Amino acid sequence: MERADVIIIGVGVSGLAAALTLQNAGISCILLEASNSVGGRIKTIIKDGFTLDVGFQVLLENYSELKRFGIWDSLNFRKFRSGAIVSREGNLDWYSNPILDPTGFIKSGLNFPFPLKETSAVLGLYMDALRTNDDFQELKSAFSTMDYLRAKGISQKTIDEFFVPFFGGVLLDTRLEAGNQYFLWLFRNFMTGRAGLPLGGMQTLPFGLASKLKNQDSIRLNYEVINISDSQVYCRNGKIFQSSFIIDSTGQSSKLNNKFRSTTTVYLKGPVNKEISSSLVLNGNQDGNILHFCFPSAVQPRYAPTDIALCSVTMRTASADPDIPSILKELHQLLPDIDWKQWTYLHHFFIPKAIPEHQSGPRTHYRQEGNTFFIGDIVSYPSINGAMRSGREAAEKIVELKSKA
């Protein structure tokens, strides 16, 4: 039986954030990972020279946890253009973020994604968002995002044409059921920071975090945990570990509400063309199978071989078998300036368990039951920042408990 001060189960970003926090405090840990790689839900594959993230994911430059772990510079982050293009009944509207891109906003003709009569409602929303901080869960009022937007006086048309494709796409939640606190946190982060991609794909993040562990032998891949009992952790391969503290980042405990939202990301390849921009394009029509799409290679050129562009399409309904001809037809309706006949299928990912459902109501970022700490986005909130914060705070609590022992 091996012993360590702390056993961490699962080596996604939450487990890694916990391990690095313990390392800084001089506390030893062993990380047990069921799969053959670190990173959990953040994975990247290389196919035919393309860098394909397993499901469209982005980082926001104002994710506070990234800076804490000293990982930022190594990511070689490049940003999407702030704002979004909304395609609605054949018309394209460019909405620039007045805070981050005032020039673009002026050039767009001071274009807002809502009618003038809704200005005061949207200002109220901005004010609520600016009042949130990373402790957004402490806001008093807890509604679903949809109920919150309606209560603020935002019309259903604006909700359907802008908020559903944008935030519904980010949250994989087209009914906007996620809690309003989480929505406001996200809204503030999109208003005040840009989304982007690391040079080598999203997996650069967990790989970079893992490389900061001084004892690389502490990571055990292909160690699936099958039971935890009396401070002992049992793995399918017969190994047993003992520790006075256990951090469980797998999200599999029956004590957690582990319902997930699913998604399908379709990758297409085609010729580079001046119409390809580094903006997210939203489907502002209330029908169709596409929620939004973008061109990751316009943001991070290394995502595609020279002179070829990569398009990432997020589908409204997740499916293991997406209908590529109808996707190309719909893309043609949404962005007719591009000759979609020259585009072909590259790959797709169907991810049944992508993002945990987020419910309204107060919560902590980790959950403690005796000497076991449950962490991850499932406990905190569904984002890389939430997952990392959860791991860090649980580890800080263990450091505190050990210092008192």
Ligand X SMILES: Cc1cc2nc3c(=O)[nH]c(=O)nc-3n(C[C@H](O)[C@H](O)[C@H](O)COP(=O)(O)OP(=O)(O)OC[C@H]3O[C@@H](n4cnc5c(N)ncnc54)[C@H](O)[C@@H]3O)c2cc1C
Binding site for ligand X (CB under 6 A): 9-15, 32-35, 40-42, 55, 57-58, 224-225, 249-250, 252, 263, 351, 354-355, 376-377, 382-385, 387
Nearer to ligand X, 152 or 212 (CB): 212
For the chain, the helix, strand and coil percentages under 3-state DSSP, each to the nearest 5: 35, 25, 40
Residue 55 C-beta: closest distance to ligand X, Å: 2
Pairing of strands 29-32, 219-220: parallel
Smallest gap, in angstroms, from Cβ of residue 202 to ligand X? 8
Question: Which residue in the shown chain puts its C-beta closest to ligand X?
Answer: 40
Closest alpha carbon to 365 in 190, 180, 139, 134: 134
Name the minimum Å distance from CB 366 to ligand X. 11
- 2-3 sheet: strands from edge to edge: 2-3, 240-242, 232-235, 225-229
Cβ atoms of 245 and 398 closer than 8 Å: yes
End-to-end CA, the chain = 24
262: how many CB neighbours lie within 10 A of its CB?
17
Output 22 or 355, the one with its CB closest to ligand X: 355
- As measured in angstroms, the least distance from the Cβ of 348 to ligand X is 12
The single residue listed with the structure tokens 């790689």 is 37
Give the tokens for residue 180: 């309003």
Q: Are 318 and 350 in contact (CB under 8 A)?
A: yes
CB-wise, 2 or 337, nearer to ligand X? 2
Residues 6 or more apart in contact with residue 144 via CB below 8 angstroms: 176, 177, 178, 179, 180, 360
CB of 178 to ligand X, least distance (A): 13
Q: Which is nearer to ligand X, 270 or 391 (CB)?
A: 391
| Main-chain dihedrals φ then ψ at residue 375, nearest 5 degrees | -130, 180
CA atoms within 13 A on the CB side of 200: 10
- For ligand X, the closer CB: 155 or 252: 252
- CB nearer to ligand X: give 279 or 385: 385
**Distance of alpha carbon 175 from alpha carbon 383, whole angstroms:** 18
Whole-number Å distance between alpha carbons of 286 and 160: 7
Select 179 or 340, whichever has its Cβ closest to ligand X: 179
Rounded to a whole number of angstroms, the minimum distance from the CB of residue 355 to ligand X is: 5
Task: Map 47-100 to HEC letters.
Answer: ECCEEEECCCCCEECCCHHHHHCCCCHHHCCEECCCCEEEEECCEEEEECCCCC
Helix H or strand E segment including 394:
helix 384-404
Q: How far is CA 248 from the centre of its chain?
A: 20
**Nearer to ligand X by C-beta: 36 or 91?**
36
Q: Determine the 3-state secondary structure of 349 from DSSP.
A: strand
The burial of 252, by beta-carbon neighbours within 10 Å (0-12 exposed, 13-18 middle, 19 or more buried), is given as middle
Cβ distance to ligand X smaller for residue 61 or 147 = 61
Nearer to ligand X, 113 or 193 (CB): 193
Output the smallest distance, CB 256 to ligand X, in A: 11
Q: Residue 210 Cβ, how far from ligand X at the closest point, in Å?
A: 11
